[in-house]
Amino acid sequence: MSKKWLGLAAATTSAAMLLTSCGGGGDGGGGTEAEFDAGTTSIVNPSDEQGGTLKFAHSDQFDSLDPGNTYYAANWSFTRFYARSLVTYAQQPGEEGLELVPDLAEDLGEVSDDGLTWTYTLKEGLKFEDGTPITAEDVKYAVARSNFAPDIINKGPVYFSQLLDAGDYEGPYEDEDLDNFTGIETPDERTIEFKLKEPFSEFDYVAAMPQTSPVPADADTGDQYQTQVVSNGPYKFESEWTPGKTLNLVRNEEYDPETDPLTRNRPDKIEVAFKQEENDRDNRLMSGDLHMDVAGLGLEAAARGKILRDENLKAQADNPQTGFKLYFAINPNVEPFDDKACREAVLYGADKTAMQAAWGGEVGGDIATNMLPPSTPGFTEIDPYGTPEHKGDPDKVAESLEACGQEDGFDTKISYRSDRDKEKKAAEALQQALAEYGINAELKGYEAGTYTSEQAGSPAFVEKEELGIMAYGWGSDWPSGYGFFQQIVHGDSIKGAGNSNLSELDDPEINELLDEAAVTDDPAQREEMYAEVDALAMDSATLLPYLDQKALLFRPENVTNVFFGESFKMYDYSAMGLAQ
Amino acid sequence: MITYIIRRLFAGVGLLLIVSMVVFAIFFLIPRLAGTDADGLAARYIGKSPTPEAIAAVKERLNLDEPITVQYGEFVKGLVVGTEYDSGTDVIECSAPCFGYSFKTGTEVWPQLIDRLPVTASLAVGAAVIWLVAGVSIGVLSALRRGTALDRAAMMVALAGVSLPIFFTGLVSLAVFSYYWGIFPPGGSFTPFTENPIAWAHGLVLPWVTLAFLYAAMYARLTRAGMLDTMGEDFIRTARAKGLPERTVIGKHALRSALTPIITIFGLDFGLMLGGAVLTESTFSLPGLGKYAVDAIRGNDLPVVLGVTMFTAVFVVIANLIVDLLYAWVDPRVRVGA
């Protein structure tokens, strides 16, 4: 059932793309004139022209260029230039961009009757940059190294190691015999069978991660592989790359566009400069000297003000939701939040308009009333702790405080990431709103680099320091309720360090619903379950969502085929070209 | 003299050991005192979602469960005799002086330092020439024309130079000279001298001038004050009484004496700058040592922070030694070892 639905979606998408590519340089594929926010839902400046150097800048650097060792949306989007995965996302604006299409595989995954085997067949004629044919074994090796060698490769997600039935396999660096990796079987050179411990209905999304991009075992250099990734996509590394230095990608002559569902070979060359000062980067974007901010997090305050005041510049900007939910987690293990009514007092007392102002007003985000992001399939708007104009409800706060036996209020602490100015301001806004009701919150700032690993993400630290309320934000690993919720509300995701379930929510009903959704084939049924999880999570009164974050993105006039990709929640880099 | 140099060199090595201990303690002890355990430290080196298996594996790989003394001993051992790292498929030899291995970027620290040194050195040398020539000349002129319009104008500009932060003057200069007039290349432009000397200088003009503006202003004020003091000294009056030309009195007698404190400060400034002109490199996105250090601090990349700190400390120690030796040459009143 699931397979048919996804197959139909893929066929529709492919047809739409075919029409687009046949449309020449015209306005095909939903192309539109450059105007504010046009790129959020349509293709701006559509063109089939090829050539030029597409210049990206990064204010920091990728966590890794190794497709098996990275966990940021920007990287996943960017690796599509040189690392094709078994499955990928359609190259379309709007909701259609959330649909999966087979990439290296001939089709989406075929699941066995017992739900324990997912099979993919590689297309014919696929080659690495050196002309060597790509085999199923190369995909198997890629998954083995990225998920089963945590001492060496540990920056990416580990869904495969959680899902695959691989026994005590210790990874290819400890155990060189790949036959001992039983989580994947390769009966012939083109067939890849993933063997699961439990059925998992959303496996195609996992197969869409760059970790399924094949790696030839003899070219693997462990944690050094990012310096010379062996390409199977339209571009390859010009030479061995040194981290921090400018990355240059040139055309891969062995790439065959006929095997590719996407058109991702428009520029002749791609260049990424790292560690670029943010304000300087924005100025370069506006001057057209630079084409794209590859991190896709949006412009700095100075450029935002300039763009919003200037109609011409504003017409080159987009303001989409980033899929990132901003919220405060309330920990029921810290007194007095062991009493639900005390948690409710916080939820009713919050002034979300002040928090929105802290993030720059409407350009910074839309006020959120529930946890599931609006662009997630199955999203249903609910507001169980609604207050007049989102500014707080004094009567409800008083009722809640009385119910938890703290009529005069209480003392607590709010933690935030001290080097994230907007988050700090949002925490201050919450502090001020709660102070009106006698809830005195002390602000505790910690650096972002250690916040999840050592403070808010360490339950022992939270209890010791009595961090009752913690500022946080979360985006989905893939566009479904499971991809969003699993790490932040499932009891099994609670960890001693690096914990993202800050509320330490371990509700059997929520756990069961997520587990059941994982084995449910029907997407519509799954979406209902996620809506239910959303309602239950909100009902726990341990989560105070306040904003669906938005970013102000800029697209220079000389960049073609620009649109916001809903899959990675940033401009779809793979489609871009340059006006010649 | 030789004994003095040897004594100073030993003192320098002792100082470097103390610096390394302090930095090591800051990054290893303080998090522990703040409640972080070895798991938390290990999680710093893992991606967004560290699993217990990954934390255990990284703890073992980085010896995070070992006592701090053992970990520090490993670091010093690496500096002296080198060490080895496992990349998964190969053993990476990190030969002495092994400043460590960045587990965040998967790179050895020493080659990164050496790679970035030309950027920082280019920036520091160019800017130092400008600020010394401009700062000292303006300071001397101001002192000799004390109270005139030239003096006042020069000191006003100097005040502006001292007051305006580099990230302001840098961004303004980029906006005007790079994006508006297009005379100079944008931020992030660095061409090695050996590749193209003209492009090298062209790309560095804005960072040089921006950095030199701040220091020239300070040096102008210092030189002016020094010159005013010296010009009132008895030996200047004696020189003039002997009938020496004014140029000799100022150039050979007054300036030499006034330069002593300038050289002291220059030695420190230049040494520190070779360790990275943090703000200038960040503003102009230059891949130098300063930017490397800032990024490492932001990313909690201890081996890199430790490496850059040690590297900078070496420069400061050497620059101080050279300054001390230069004293004797510049100012006859000073004698080494006196």
> What values do phi and psi take at A572, rounded to 5?
-80, 100
According to the model, what pLDDT value does residue B4 have? 74
Task: Judge if A385 and A512 occupy the same domain.
Answer: yes
Contacts of A56 in chain B (CB under 8 A): none
pLDDT band at B332 (very low <50, low <70, confident <90, very high): low
The rounded distance, in Å, linking the Cα atoms of A248 and A487 is 35
User: Is A100 a domain residue?
Assistant: yes
Average pLDDT of the residues of chain B? 82
CA distance B102 to chain A (A): 11
* Inter-chain CB proximity B179 and A275 less than 8 Å: no
| Distances in whole angstroms, Cα of residue B129 to Cα of each of A254, B122, B136, B215, B270 | 51, 11, 11, 11, 11
- Residue A64 lies inside a defined structural domain of this protein: yes
Beta bridge partners of A290: none
- In a shared domain, residues A427 and A414: yes
A345 shares its domain with A485: yes
**Residue percentage of chain A with pLDDT more than 90:** 74
Q: Do A279 and B171 count as a contact with CB atoms less than 8 A apart?
A: yes
CB within 8 Å of B268: residues ≥ 6 apart = B316, B319, B320, B323
Listed by number, the residues of chain B in 285-304 with a beta carbon closer than 8 Å to a beta carbon of chain A are 285, 287, 291-292, 295, 298-300
Which of the residues A55, A60, A66, A151 would you substitute to probe the B interface, choosing the one with the greatest number of B C-beta atoms within 10 Å?
A: A151
Q: Which domain holds residue A492?
A: 321-550
Q: Which of A208, A192, A6 is nearest to A87 (CA)?
A: A208
The CA distance from B227 to the nearest CA of chain A, in Å, is 40
Check CB contact under 8 Å for A154 and B57. yes
Considering only CA atoms, which of A188, A180, A202 is closest in space to residue A118? Answer: A202
In this structure, what CATH number is given to the domain that contains residue A167?
A: 3.40.190.10
* Same-domain pairing of A201 and A54: yes
Is A301 part of a structural domain of the chain? no
Instruction: Give one DSSP letter per residue of B200-229, joined into a string.
Output: HHHHHHHHHHHHHHHHHHHHHHHHHHHHHH
Asked if residue B243 has pLDDT above 60, the reply is yes
Mutate to test the interface with A, among B44, B49, B114 (most CBs of A within 10 A): B49
Containing H/E element for A578? strand A577-578
Q: Of B241, B234, B270, give the one whose Cα is nearest residue B126.
A: B270
User: Closest to B187 (Cβ–Cβ): which among A150, A277, A452?
Assistant: A277
Question: CA–CA separation, A342 vs A335, rounded Å?
Answer: 9
- What is residue A355's predicted lDDT score, i.e. its pLDDT? 95
Domain ranges of chain B: 13-109, 111-337
Q: For the residues A81-98, what does the mean pLDDT come to?
A: 95
The answer, for B39 touching chain A at a CB cutoff of 8 Å, is yes
Q: Which of the listed CATH numbers 1.10.3720.10, 1.10.540.10, 1.20.1250.20, 3.30.420.40 matches domain B111-337? A: 1.10.3720.10
- Sign, Cα dihedral of A191, A196, A199, A200: negative
Q: Is A287 part of a structural domain of the chain?
A: no
pLDDT confidence tier of residue B336, bands split at 50, 70 and 90: very low
- Ranked by mean pLDDT, which of A24-28, A64-68, B237-241 comes out on top? A64-68
- Looking at the structure of chain A, the number of domains it has is 2
pLDDT for position B172: 86
* CA–CA separation, A555 and A132 (whole Å): 38
Q: Are residues A120 and A266 in the same domain?
A: yes
Average pLDDT value for residue range B198-224: 88
Q: Say yes or no for a CB contact (<8 Å) between B295 and A280.
A: no
* pLDDT the model gives residue B71: 83
CB contacts < 8 Å between A and B, how many? 174
> Could you identify the residue written with the tokens 């520091």?
B124
Residues A573 and A438 in one domain: no
Flag whether A426 is in a domain.
yes
Quick check: A1 pLDDT over 80? no
Q: Which whole number is the average pLDDT over A533-550?
A: 95
How far is CA A258 from each of CA A22, A207, A339, rounded to the nearest angstrom? Answer: 14, 21, 61
Q: Of A34-38, A200-204, B270-274, give the range with the top mean pLDDT.
A: A200-204
Residue A134: its H or E element: none
C-beta atoms of A498 and B49 within 8 A: yes
Please state, in angstroms and as integers, the Cα–Cα distance from residue B123 to each residue in B116, B119, B198, following that order: 11, 6, 15
Are the C-beta atoms of residues A378 and A513 closer than 8 Å to each other? no
Give B-chain residues touching A151 at CB under 8 angstroms: 54, 57-58, 60-61
| Cα angle: A289, vertex A293, A295; to 5 degrees | 160
**Do A569 and A459 lie in a common domain?**
no
* Domain co-membership, A563 together with A540: no
Looking at the fold, whether A477 and A559 belong to one and the same domain comes out as no
Query: What is the four-CA torsion angle of A570, B287, B26, A460, rounded to 10 degrees?
Result: 10
User: What's the mean per-residue pLDDT of chain A?
Assistant: 90
Q: What is the pLDDT of residue A543?
A: 96
* Residue A477 within any structural domain of the chain: yes
Any CB–CB contact under 8 A between B105 and chain A? yes
* C-beta atoms surrounding A305 within 10 Å: 12
Say whether both A200 and A130 belong to one domain: yes
Mutation target among A71, A154, A158 for the B interface, most CBs of B within 10 A = A154
* Cβ contact A449–B300 (<8 Å): yes
> Which of helix, strand or coil describes residue A483?
helix
Helix H, strand E, coil C: the string for B248-275 is: HHHHHHHHHHHHHHHHHHHHHHHHHHHC
| CB of B190 less than 8 A from some CB of A | no
- The per-residue pLDDT for B108 is 82
Helix (H, G, I), strand (E, B) or coil at A111: strand
Nearest-Cα distance to chain B for A101, in Å, is 27
Q: Which tokens hold the place of A147?
A: 């998920």
Element (H, E) at A520: none
> With the C-alpha atoms ordered B229, B235, B237, B239, is the resulting torsion angle positive or negative?
negative
pLDDT of A50 strictly over 70: yes
Q: How many CB atoms lie within 10 A of CB A233?
A: 26
Question: pLDDT grade, residue B221 (50/70/90)?
Answer: confident
Same structural domain, A561 and A513: no
Tens digit of each residue's pLDDT (9 = 90 or more) over A128-182:
999 999 999 999 999 999 999 998 898 898 899 999 999 999 999 999 999 999 9
CB B313 within 8 A of CB B141: no
Residue A535: pLDDT over 50: yes
Residues A43 and A83 in one domain: yes
Q: Determine which of A179-193, A289-303, A338-352, B247-261 has the lowest per-residue pLDDT on average.
A: B247-261
Q: What counts of helices (H) and strands (E) characterise chain A?
A: 18, 25
The single-letter code of the amino acid at A303 is: A
Q: What percent of chain A has pLDDT over 70?
A: 94
Confidence grade of residue A38 (pLDDT, cut at 50, 70, 90): very high
Cα-based distances in Å from B255 to A199, B53, B136, B231, B332: 84, 67, 9, 9, 13
For B129-165, the pLDDT digits (tens) are 998 998 888 888 888 888 888 888 888 887 887 778 8
Read off the pLDDT of each residue in A180-203 and give the average, rounded to a whole number. 95
Name the residue among B41, B50, B287 with its Cβ closest to that of A275. Answer: B287
Least confident of A175-179, A461-465, A507-511, B282-286: B282-286
The kind and range of the H/E element at A349 are: helix A340-349
The CB density around residue B40, as the number of other CB atoms within 10 Å, is 27
Cβ contacts of A322 within 8 Å, gap of 6 or more: A297, A298, A475, A549, A550, A551, A569, A570
For A176, other C-beta atoms within 10 Å of its C-beta total 10
Name the DSSP letter for residue A472: E
Mean pLDDT along residues B319-330:
74
